[in-house]
Amino acid sequence: MAKFPELAAKRVMVTGAASGIGYATAERFANEGAHVFLVDRDGAALSAAKGKHPGFKGSFVADVASEGDVKASFAAMDGLLGGIDVLVSNAGISVRSNFVDITYEQWKRVMDINLGGMFLTSREAAIRMKKQKAGVILMTASSNGTEGHRWYADYNASKAGVILLMKTMALELAPDVRVNCVCPGYVLTPMQRAEYTDEMLAATNEGIPMKRHAEPEEIGALYAFLASDDARYFTGADIRLDGGETAGLYS
């Protein structure tokens, strides 16, 4: 059931939409009646996702770290839907590594996708939204961007960068365009399952005040709220959705 009727027919791009948080967010916007355009670099997963909801109006295979791919995906969305009202820039990767084992190639790949991808997609969205004097840009950062977490130095630095990119854009684009990011804690997605055994998941859950990972749909629900009129005074905010993970100095 739609909770935010003003999202009906809004043109929404979600990146990293074939899996995890991105898919759940795309589905949530489609359930709100939005016209959703899915972007992902995984063509097979994207075409499987595309048919799953009538609100999924279009899709485009793109690497968000490629300027050409990003421009082409926005051009495709312009052609199909006539523009964009909401961007959820979400695609990202993580590689669990000891700091001393991070190669410069890995560092650059993580930065290019997690931070460069947010820059490229949000710049294309901002160009369009400034012209129409309206729009909402949302990004997936992480609690890894607000506190240090072992074994993810490159990822943490990229997510901290996303937070300050978001804040600077919010200053420049207000009052017409709102820009915010969500900092999820641990979310049970294929990304998380790829790097955590069942034992690691159980040990992590023990340390989270809410005693569990977030469901991807819980992140999608926050994105729908942030795009809605109820969130009209939200801009420049990095919003933690982490079950209390970062609430205390020592848990």
Ligand X SMILES: NC(=O)c1ccc[n+]([C@@H]2O[C@H](COP(=O)([O-])OP(=O)(O)OC[C@H]3O[C@@H](n4cnc5c(N)ncnc54)[C@H](O)[C@@H]3O)[C@@H](O)[C@H]2O)c1
- Asked whether position 126 contacts ligand X by CB under 6 A, the answer is no
Residue 120: what residue type? L
Of the residues 45, 72, 157, 208, which one makes contact with ligand X according to CB under 6 A: 45
- Asked whether position 102 contacts ligand X by CB under 6 A, the answer is no
- Asked whether position 63 contacts ligand X by CB under 6 A, the answer is yes
- Asked whether position 128 contacts ligand X by CB under 6 A, the answer is no
Of the residues 73, 90, 156, 235, which one makes contact with ligand X according to CB under 6 A: 90
Is 222 in a helix, a strand, or coil?
helix
- Asked whether position 192 contacts ligand X by CB under 6 A, the answer is yes
Which listed residue (155, 196, 223, 250) is catalytic?
155
Other beta carbons within 10 Å of 164? 14
What x-and-dash track marks residues 210-239 binding ligand X by CB under 6 A?
Answer: ------------------------------
Of the residues 59, 121, 140, 228, which one makes contact with ligand X according to CB under 6 A: 140
Of the residues 34, 65, 163, 166, which one makes contact with ligand X according to CB under 6 A: 65
DSSP letter string, 131-172: HHT-EEEEEE--GGGTS--TT-HHHHHHHHHHHHHHHHHHHH
Q: Select from 183, 245, 242 the least CA-distant residue to 208.
A: 245
Contact 57, 35 (CB under 8 A): yes
Q: Decide whether 41 or 178 has the Cβ nearer to ligand X.
A: 41
- Asked whether position 25 contacts ligand X by CB under 6 A, the answer is no
Q: Give the burial class of 241: count Cβ atoms within 10 A of its Cβ; 0-12 exposed, 13-18 middle, 19 or more buried.
A: middle
Task: Sheet containing 11-15: give its strands across.
Answer: 56-61, 35-40, 11-15, 86-89, 135-140, 177-184, 238-241
Other beta carbons within 10 Å of 167? 16
Written as six digits, the tokens of 235 are 């801009």
Smallest distance from the beta carbon of 22 to ligand X, in angstroms?
A: 5
Smallest distance from the beta carbon of 65 to ligand X, in angstroms?
A: 5
- Asked whether position 178 contacts ligand X by CB under 6 A, the answer is no
**155 given a catalytic annotation:** yes
- The residues of the shown chain that bind ligand X, judged by CB under 6 A, are 15-16, 18-22, 40-42, 45, 63-65, 90-94, 113, 117, 140, 142, 184, 186-187, 189-192
Q: Which residues are catalytic?
A: 155
